[in-house]
Structure 1
Amino acid sequence: MRHTVEKIGGTSMSRTIELLDTVLIGDRTGAQLYQRIFVVSAYAGITDALLEHKKTGKPGVHALFASAESGWAWGDALSAVADQMYAHNERVFGDADARQTADRFVRERIEGVRSCLIDLSRLCSFGHFQLEQHLLTVREMLASLGEAHSAFNTSLLLNMSGVSARLVDLSGWRDERQLPLDEVIGRAFSDIDLSRELPIVTGYAQCREVLMGTYDRGYSEVVLSRVAVVTEAREAIIHKEFHLSSADPRVVGLESVRVIGETNYDVADQLSNMGMEAIHPRAAKSLRQAGIPLRVKNAFEPDHNGTVIRSDIHAGAPQVEIITGIKNVFALEFHDQDMVGVKGYDSEILEALKRHKVWIISKTSNANTITHFLKGSMKAIRRVETDLSAAFPCAGITLRKVALVSAIGRNIGDSAVLAKAIGVLAAAGISPLGVHDLMRKVDLQIIVDPADFEATISALHKGLIEDWAPAQANELHAVA
């Protein structure tokens, strides 16, 4: 029997004891416990503390270490991370000996990193060595601490429960080699018998490709996908704390959302673009090319089949599957009367956006105006605006906050979808600021005022999903 490769996210990992009763063990016995590989993320909040807060940008150990003004504040921040890890150990392990074992593991890793960073600081106090050249490596090393901690704890817990679990540490701790990712994985699994052992794999892997440099904090899903491909898994599974559903139940109501039974990787890509990742697009590419299906499941409802994502699942009749969106989007409008027939404007704008690491959600253009819809910090977008004003002093550049709501489906090619969307918004008293309906009918984007965000999602969900197809055609399901 071919195995599965399964990833558990950080929020779910923070409920490890519950996971023992659902995903990790549940009612499985004997051989049923095996033929599975688990890739685990750091406990919720740990990576934020090690790097920087993903949403607020509050500096963590890495950001403080990179800042010349912070002095030795990074050391205190690293000690605070250790305290968080010890607190997790106390919650997870009731047995004193096991907790001491887990604490020793944390202490060794934390103090090893501390010594390394002190040595690097001293080295870079000499003019021949520049700290900037080493910051990505530091970021990798810090990020790997969280995954190693949760993987160690999980394997220890399983062993205490009578499961033959093995820690597979891909983080490169004290490993001087820089091998390609696939080779790192191949070596790690070369002597593992999946019929008798349950591998618990760190969600970060040190490798020649430098995952942080390409994927930043999407690395764990890339590790999931490559482990699945290299070990020739029959299926990849991502366990989340919620189901992949037709909308956010907090907006449209628990009684109205529907679990998506199946969809394809095209829809998954559109969700990623809207910040609602089922899986990182690069990770999806590996699975898609290898013909490995992906299943997204609720970690705390193990008997539910979840959502299957495959490249060969095509839509029948046109139908919207998901309504989602981003509330705080910046519309950067660039207008220049001299643009007509002149090349170069687009490339200059894109270069500025890339330089300041601003995420492009969507764009529109006409003869003399290019509008980008952006996600990023106001500080970064203001820098883009400053650069473009200097490069094109005669251009008019305006910045406005908007919301972007998207209706997504494998096939929404019926012209009635657009007409229905406009109709339901009008009935709800919502006036769109713009509509993007591309020729490739997989999504319909509606630009509205941020104050109309939730109302737009609710109106579109009711009109395009709840009232579009018979209710019995979709499973109603509450989302955690």
Structure 2
Amino acid sequence: MFHTVEKIGGTSMSRYNEVLSNIWLRPQSIAGQEETLYQRIFVVSAYAGMTNGLLEHKSTGEPGVYALYAEMDERRPWQSKLDQVLDAMLQMNADMFNNDVQRKRADQFISGRVNDVRDCLENLEAVCSFGNFQLDDHLLQVREMLSAIGEAHSAYNSVQLLRQHDVNAVYIDLTNWRSDTQLSLDDTIKEAFKDVDLRHQLPIVTGYTQCREGLMRTFDRGYSEMTFSKIATITHAKEAVIHKEYHLSTADPRIVGVANVLPIGQTNYDVADQLANLGMEAIHPRAAAGLRKKDILLRVKNTFEPEHGGTEIRNDYHTDEPKVEIIAGTRGVWALEVFDQDMVGNATYGQRMNDLVFESGVRVLTKDINANTVTFYLKGNKRRVNWLIDRLKQVYTDADIRLEKLSMVSAIGSDLKIPGLLRRAAGALSDAGVNILSVHQAMRQVDMMFLVSEADYTKAVNALHTLLVEKSDIWQQQASA
């Protein structure tokens, strides 16, 4: 018997009635077999906004419970923030359940989790008031514990909702809550599914997995995608499916307009890797790597257009004709430039620099290097970037170090071997009044990156999409087919 493993994003989860009708209560035929509601495993994200409140806002950086707790402010603002998050969770329960018994059960579940966290954080504060214990040593565990609440809330509620509709849903809690054992990621998943019968049970799984490796340490907020990928590979899924609030399209419809984008019918894991490198929410690069190695087809679907087949991402896809498949990018890129005359001819100069970048925890999108200058293009919060700069100044005392905040815009495709593409793309940006600060194109020719100012991001995305997609003969033929 074949099965799928499917992940539902936070924005989709918040529209739970549509998820219910479009996904959970919609029978599926897997690999040509008889249609069924079962033979599927669902990994769910927290409802939209919950993780932002628990940690920090992903886009604006507004502090959540974790960020406020880490500041060690004696006024303890984290407590009121935790109250706000709990209120939002209870309001979600009220909106979701008309049945008083189910609502009471859901309220008791999440209130118990939040109260556990509150007690734990207060006790940790007391312990760390003694000089023998430092709060910084425990912040990663605090971040993991807070993350787990959001996914536990949505998974538990989803099970109650499905049972209300006579679906035999089972709650799979990978958060390891109040457990005295800690297994590896693989063993945690194997243990959780050892008694699950996919023919008659519909598992709803928390997106966060508490395990020996510590998912937050490596993947931070990409942990749910890693859980999703691991479950797919360990259970030998036929397909891995990601349900999002929009199609995987030629660009962000919020930037270039819904009428101007087209869904990408097929692409390969090379393209998925480039998107992941930019932080786009298709799938985390390490999660994609696991699926790629096991040759599991990844499908990205629009939650609100269930009839559409979505985008297939597979190992063996290669476009019939070279073309740009997607214009993507990211704001808030830190360009960290290190200039040092002593670098010239010194083959070992950058070794310690690379180590420090790794230790800082920031993510490297790409980097430039010439005779006397190295520029890293980084994604990460300002605190980590400042930590990196301080360490670089200690090691490279004669270097001039400069930091600038930019945006990156990229043209991506499974085959970009198009004569004159770089010239045309650069010309489109120039015609739109966008100044190119740096450009990157590797010989593999699956992506082309342009570094531009923060203010020019939207303008750059629109300019590249208009020329390379909307005016492309290949895409126009596909749209009219």
TM range (shorter): over 0.9
Q: Contact conserved, 1:31 with 1:196, CA < 8 A, in 2?
A: no
Quickly say closer, same or farther: Cα 1:307–1:65, change in 2 above 3 A.
same
1:180/1:321 CA distance change after superposition, 3 Å: same
> Does 77-86 or 166-175 show the bigger shift?
77-86
**1 CA distance for matches of 2:67 and 2:458?**
34
Matched-pair identity in % = 50
Q: What is aligned with 1:121? A: 125
1:215 equivalent to 2:219? Answer yes
- Which is worse superposed, 8-17 or 400-409? 400-409
Which deviations, in whole Å up to 9, do the C-alpha atoms of 1:240-269 show, x marking residues without a partner? 111111112233232221111111111111
Structure 1 position 383, deviation (Å) = 4.4
Instruction: Name the residue aligned to 1:253.
Output: 257
**2:23 alignment counterpart:** 23
Summarize the alignment of residues 24-103 of structure 1 with structure 2, pairs less than 5 Å apart: 24-26=24-26, 32-103=36-107
Show the counterpart of 2:392.
388
Structure 1 segment 179-328 matched on structure 2, within 5 A: 179-328=183-332
Which amino acid letter does the alignment assign opposite residue 15 of structure 1? R
Q: 1:327 to 1:278 in 2, by over 3 A?
A: same
In structure 1, the residue corresponding to 2:317 is in which secondary structure? coil
1:170 touches 1:184 (CA, 8 Å); kept in 2? Answer: yes
Tell me the equivalent position of 1:334: 338
* CA deviation vs aligned residue, 1:16-65 (integer Å, no higher than 9, x gap): 12211111114679962111111011111111222222233333222333
TM-score, normalising length: structure 1:
0.93
The answer to whether the 8 A contact 1:42-1:149 is kept is yes
Which piece of structure 1 moves more, 167-176 or 133-142?
A: 133-142
Change (3 A) 1:389 1:65: closer
1:82-137 CA distances to partner (integer Å, 9 max, x unpaired)?
21110110111122221111111112212222233333333334444443333322
Structure 1 residue matching 2:406: 3-state secondary structure: strand
Aligned partner of 1:415 in structure 2 is 419
- Structure 2: runs of 5 or more not aligned: none
Check conservation: 1:40, 1:200, Cα contact below 8 A: yes
Native 8 Å contact 1:259 1:475 kept in 2: no
Alpha-carbon spacing, 1:140–1:386, altered in 2? closer, same or farther (3 Å): closer
**Which amino acid in the other structure matches residue 147 of structure 2?**
A
Cα separation, partners in 2 of 1:56 and 1:345, compared to 1, 3 Å = farther
The alignment status of 1:158 with 2:162, answered yes or no, reads yes
TM-score (norm 2): 0.92
The answer to whether the Cα contact below 8 Å between 1:255 and 1:476 also exists between their aligned partners in 2 is: no
How far apart, CA to CA, are the structure 1 residues paired with 2:281 and 2:127?
40
Q: Which runs of 5+ in 1 are unaligned?
A: none
**Residue 7 (structure 2) pairs with residue 3 (structure 1):** no
Contact 1:331/1:400 (8 A) holds in 2: yes
Query: Secondary structure in 1 aligned to 2:86?
Result: helix
Residues 401 and 47 of structure 1: is their aligned pair in 2 closer, same or farther, counting only changes over 3 Å? Answer: closer
Q: Is the 8 A contact 2:326 2:411 kept in 1?
A: yes
Contact 2:27 2:35 in 1 (8 A): no
Point out the more displaced range, 345-354 or 402-411: 345-354
Match of 1:354?
358
Q: Report Cα offsets for 1:308-366 as digits up to 9, x if no partner.
A: 11122123322111111223333222222232101343234334433433332221121
Q: What letter is aligned with 1:20? A: L
1:271-292 CA-to-partner distances (Å, cap 9, x unmatched) read: 1111213101111111111111
The amino acid across from 1:220 in the alignment is: S
SS at match of 1:204: coil
- Residue number among 136, 141, 144 corresponding to 1:140 in the alignment: 144
Aligned mates of 2:361, 2:480 — CA distance in 1? 39
Instruction: From the superposition, tell whether residues 360 and 43 of structure 1 become closer, same or farther in structure 2 (CA, over 3 Å).
Output: same
2:249 is aligned with what amino acid? Answer: S
Indicate conservation of the 8 Å contact 1:258/1:476, yes or no.
Answer: no
Native 8 Å contact 2:324 2:416 kept in 1: yes
Give the aligned length: 477
Deviation at 1:422, TM superposition (A): 2.9
Relative to structure 1, the CA distance from residue 448 to residue 82 in structure 2 (aligned partners, 3 Å threshold; closer, same or farther) is closer
What value does the CA root-mean-square deviation take over the aligned residues?
Answer: 2.3
* Deviates most, 299-308 or 72-81: 72-81
- Quote how far apart the aligned CAs of 1:140 are: 1.7
- Provide the rounded CA distance (Å) in 2 between the counterparts of 1:241 and 1:408: 22
Q: Does 1:177 align with 2:196?
A: no
Moved more, 95-104 or 466-475: 466-475
